[in-house]
Structure 1
Amino acid sequence: MARKIAILVKEFPPDVIGGTETQTKRMARELDGAGHEITVYTKAYKTDQSDDSLPYEVVRVPNWRISPFVSTLTFVLAATFFLLRDAREYNILQCMMIYPNGFIGRVVNTLRGLPYFAWIRGGDYYFMKDTPVKRWMIRSVLREARVLVQTERIAADVRSEFDESSLTVLGNGVDIPSVTAEGDEIVFVGRLKDQKGVDVFLRAVAGLNESVLIVGDGPERENLEALAERLNVDAEFAGEVPPDVVPDYLRRGKLFVLPSVRGEGLPNAVLEAMAVGLPVIVTDTGGAADAVVDGETGYLVSPGDEDALGDRIEQLCRDEDRRERMGEAARAWVVKNHGWETIVDSLEDVYADVTNMMDR
């Protein structure tokens, strides 16, 4: 059944190209291809964000960019107004992030009756749940709405604090490239922030005589470049690159490392690395761990344990046969569980369930 779907996401490419934003853009593309009519509501920026190549509509919501707080507050108010105005045009509202977007969905549902659901993406839960006002907003959505989470691990974390939650596990979708990795570098992709643990990664590879490729940018880049130089790590910092070319960098690798120390959802980069046939080594934090079958598609290590991380990296670097075997298993796993056909089919079931709940 074709539906008219509004997707609410706070940021959107090309202005912001993080995991949630990139996933939303690709998901909207796939839903449009499946016959649904898609409109994305997102922040307006000062620059011209028009993109005639997109097959769906993007509504840019005005906001005052005086500070992050003011920008978010004015976006929430304006997005609520826009969606209240347009609610009768849609069958369902899909809120990417439970805070603040899920709360906007709750208000629109209360005042206009538009069926909605929220999708916890990681940081919108882990970094927001301990602030009293944000926790109240999160709880109000969890009590009344269907909420999606990316992995079983995230579902368990949410239920441990909000046991009344109605949760459905649905992970990210990923494009499956026809060409796989054939490189010789250890690759990391992500924002260069404290939570990503790239400093732990650099210390773990110090002395291994391996080349490292770090793709991404952020506030810690200068410090990390200095650390790599002090540790004499052969590290290339590629900077931020468009999401569509990330697979080109991943294909330069022989394995992928995500050394996060806290707060992960289900990172696109892990799935994309697996899709090009790389074994992955990730830390056991948030939902990232659920993307790995330990010992088969990669390895799990404890967050911040640079010795364990270094040992696993060294094992895979020295054992080409094991790398190839794990890389093949990783690609097969992600094709089966996170190919777009699987994700779209599951989303369509969610749309039907949420709509039917409202009709009762």
Structure 2
Amino acid sequence: MNVALLVKEFPPNVVGGTETQTMRMADALQSRGHEVTVYTKDYGEETPTDDHPYDVVRVPNVRSSPFVSTLTFVLGATLLLLRDAKQYDVLQCMMVYPNGFVGYLVSRLRGLPYFAWIRGGDYYFMKDTPGKRWSIDAVLRDTTVLVQGTDIAADVESEFDPTDVRVLGNGVELPSMRADGDDVVFVARLERWKGLDVLLEALAGTDHSLTVVGDGPEREALEARADSLGVDAEFVGLVDPEAVVEFLVDGRVFVQPSREGEGLPNTVLEAMAVGLPPVVTDSGGLPDLVTDGETGYVVPMDDPAALRDRIETVFDEDETHERLGESARAYVEEHHSWDAIVDSLESVYDDVRAGGAR
């Protein structure tokens, strides 16, 4: 099958996230025998050399501001896909906004079957802006939309009248390495909604070492906050997505203290895949991924005391640490292997091509 993937950023310029997932998904689809083409943003002189087993089409855009970049990317992607629509059997839009709306336009004008995949922030941070909400609603009423967890599906269905919402999580490789370190590990873009400030509050007064992998606009403030609280925190910065596992295996516990708006972070899956017990908040798709007390712990958002309590449990109780780590890896192997994800995607492809979502 000829599959077009639409994603704004590629290859990844952040750890985790939609970009990394798209890259690995394209590899998995190509390995299964599909012909894959990724449509993504052109970075001008900063555009890297595309060395992939599939084609990459770079979409011109004007990067004078985030708004202008998004607007020109949407226009450029729409025009290119209108030009190329007859080459493809299905268009997979990574994010319901703005990419899903590109799919909507191309489908209306050229008849190309498409679906969109809500990734978290593209829904929660966009749905209350009138113009963006209108475009999200248009896609939800028109075609299949995937979400990353049952809680996200319930949120969508409580605010919209979707035609077909299905739950499908991320895929992950199962490395041979296992976690055997002593650090608290956090991997994410350094933005307020990722909740690193809450984790720093939770670790204040403890003797645990924290490894922070990632970069973002809040880095300087968070480094200062760690110093003021006396938290032993190493800010590693941005690393290649394939290098993240090297930090995960040095951990004792992985913490994802996100506020509202989280999807299904790759990094939590990657931590679980190396047997690193996760402590996460009840944000977005995280409670679907982590079963409290079985594959990790789930705590309320913005609650440093609850976060600290569960972190201490993982450090203090060796038997609990081992049990959670083994259960986490087994869960990922059963539900989030690439074979399982591609099987599900192929079913979606067949349904949207048959017009089953309309």
Q: What whole-Å deviation, never above 9, does each CA across 1:119-170 have from its counterpart, x for those lacking one?
A: 0000000000000000000000000111000111110110010133410110
Closer/same/farther in 2, CA of residues 62 and 52 from structure 1, 3 Å limit? closer
Aligned residues: 358
TM-score by length of 2: 0.98
Alignment-derived partner of residue 336 in structure 2: 338
Secondary structure of 1:94 counterpart: strand
Q: Which amino acid aligns with 1:127?
A: F
Alignment-derived partner of residue 251 in structure 1: 249
Does 1:286 pair with 2:284?
Answer: yes
Higher mean Cα deviation, 173-182 or 6-15? 6-15
Alignment-derived partner of residue 112 in structure 2: 114
Give the Å deviation of 1:211. 0.8
Alignment-derived partner of residue 217 in structure 1: 215
Q: 2:97 aligns with which of 99, 109, 113?
A: 99
Secondary structure of 1:47 counterpart: helix
Please say if residues 281 and 299 of structure 1, whose CA atoms lie closer than 8 Å, have aligned partners that are also in contact.
yes
Q: Which amino acid aligns with 2:295?
A: T
Closer/same/farther in 2, CA of residues 285 and 16 from structure 1, 3 Å limit? closer
Alignment-derived partner of residue 155 in structure 2: 157
Q: Percent identity?
A: 62
Q: What whole-Å deviation, never above 9, does each CA across 1:20-51 have from its counterpart, x for those lacking one?
A: 00000000000000000000000100235354
Taking the TM superposition and a 5 Å limit, the aligned residue runs for 1:72-151 are 72-151=70-149
In 1, the alpha carbon distance for the partners of 2:210 and 2:14 equals: 25
Q: What whole-Å deviation, never above 9, does each CA across 1:165-217 have from its counterpart, x for those lacking one?
A: 41011000011101111111010000111001101101101112111111111
Closer/same/farther in 2, CA of residues 257 and 15 from structure 1, 3 Å limit? closer
Q: Which amino acid aligns with 1:288?
A: L
Alignment-derived partner of residue 51 in structure 2: 53
In 1, the alpha carbon distance for the partners of 2:124 and 2:162 equals: 18
In 1, the alpha carbon distance for the partners of 2:13 and 2:159 equals: 34
Q: Which amino acid aligns with 1:132?
A: P
Please say if residues 208 and 314 of structure 1, whose CA atoms lie closer than 8 Å, have aligned partners that are also in contact.
no
Does 1:233 pair with 2:231?
Answer: yes
Alignment-derived partner of residue 166 in structure 2: 168
Q: Which amino acid aligns with 1:152?
A: T
In 2, the alpha carbon distance for the partners of 1:98 and 1:322 equals: 39
Please say if residues 14 and 49 of structure 1, whose CA atoms lie closer than 8 Å, have aligned partners that are also in contact.
no
In 1, the alpha carbon distance for the partners of 2:291 and 2:79 equals: 45
Please say if residues 183 and 252 of structure 2, whose CA atoms lie closer than 8 Å, have aligned partners that are also in contact.
yes
In 2, the alpha carbon distance for the partners of 1:173 and 1:359 equals: 24
In 2, the alpha carbon distance for the partners of 1:358 and 1:294 equals: 36
* Structure with greater contact order relative to length (CA < 8 Å, sep ≥ 6): 2
Does 1:200 pair with 2:191?
Answer: no
In 2, the alpha carbon distance for the partners of 1:117 and 1:212 equals: 40
Higher mean Cα deviation, 74-83 or 52-61? 52-61
Please say if residues 92 and 351 of structure 1, whose CA atoms lie closer than 8 Å, have aligned partners that are also in contact.
yes
Alignment-derived partner of residue 315 in structure 1: 313
Alignment-derived partner of residue 33 in structure 2: 35
* C-alpha RMSD over aligned residues: 1.3
Give the Å deviation of 1:17. 5.0
Please say if residues 115 and 358 of structure 1, whose CA atoms lie closer than 8 Å, have aligned partners that are also in contact.
no
Q: Which runs of 4+ in 1 moved over 6 A?
A: none
Closer/same/farther in 2, CA of residues 278 and 103 from structure 1, 3 Å limit? same
Q: Which amino acid aligns with 1:86?
A: D
TM-score by length of 1: 0.97
Give the Å deviation of 1:320. 1.4
Query: Which runs of no fewer than 5 residues in structure 1 stay unpaired?
Result: none
In 2, the alpha carbon distance for the partners of 1:321 and 1:17 equals: 31
Alignment-derived partner of residue 4 in structure 2: 6
In 2, the alpha carbon distance for the partners of 1:70 and 1:199 equals: 31
Q: Which amino acid aligns with 1:66?
A: S
Taking the TM superposition and a 5 Å limit, the aligned residue runs for 1:15-30 are 15-30=13-28
Q: 2:179 aligns with which of 162, 176, 181?
A: 181
Higher mean Cα deviation, 249-258 or 164-173? 164-173
In 1, the alpha carbon distance for the partners of 2:125 and 2:22 equals: 20
Query: Which runs of no fewer than 5 residues in structure 2 stay unpaired?
Result: none
In 1, the alpha carbon distance for the partners of 2:312 and 2:326 equals: 19
